Amino acid sequence: MIDQLEDRVAPEGLAWLQEAAAEVAHNPAAIGARFPAVGRKVGRGPLDPNADPDDVHAWTIDDAARTYLLQALGGHAQSELDQLYRYGDAAERRGILRALEHLDVDALHLVEDAIRTNDTRLIAAALGPYATERLPGAAYDQAVLKCVFVGVPITPLDGLERVTPDGARMLAALVHERVAAGRDVPAEVWTVIDRHSPEEEIAAIRAELESPFEDRRVAAERALGGRP
């Protein structure tokens, strides 16, 4: 993690981070004061300089720096996470969620908490490899549905192949609900729906092509036109 930061953080910011990591390694309680200061000290832009700043799936510099600090806690990470998450702002919580795949902790409850929010960056950060490995099937289905509902792109999710036939059915039902309201849906949903092809729900979407309401017909045409 520090190698990636060396090219993106000013020398004084990097020095502060390494000093902070050494401090929390010696005194885990010190992370309570260091963790909130990370963004101000090292920066908040995309970790990848070519990334879109609006990409909710992209790591930020402060995400990576917070991961580095949490790794410095070693075996004390488990005892500190809940307090850091509880009292942290959105950026601090996102940093914790991003870090989970790099820590040996039991923190699925934090993932579940983030998914319950409507914060797209928190939801995207929560659904990383840690969640892919640990969320039960039905919970993962609901998380993907939540992504589509709030506007988090699902194609970047590394666990998308986990969506079950029931999850595909729920996604297709959401598409029908949106079409019936004359609203658009992201074309990427078909990569999941067509993997299991829930016939009843797809038939209901197609039936909207014959709706007496123009907005529903047009929405159905756009939705079905997004299928690969």
Residue 218 domain-assigned? no
Could you tell me if residue 153 is inside a domain?
no
Average pLDDT over residues 105-131: 97
Does residue 63 fall inside a structural domain?
yes
Residue 19 within a domain: yes
Whether 188 shows a pLDDT value over 80: the answer reads yes
Distances (CA, A) of 178 to 139, 140, 149, 204, 220: 22, 21, 10, 12, 9
Does residue 94 lie in a domain region? yes
Contacts of 14 (CB under 8 A, 6+ apart): 5, 6, 42
- Residue 93 covered by a domain: yes
The tally of domains found in the chain comes to 1
Which structural domain range is residue 122 located in? Answer: 2-135
In a domain, 58, yes or no: yes
pLDDT digits (tens, 9 = 90+) for 125-176: 999 999 999 999 999 999 999 999 999 999 999 899 999 999 999 999 999 9
* 91-120: average pLDDT: 98
Q: What is the mean pLDDT of the chain?
A: 96
Return the pLDDT at 2: 77
Would residue 173 count as lying in a domain? no
Spatial distance between the Cα atoms of 25 and 188, rounded to a whole number of angstroms? 43
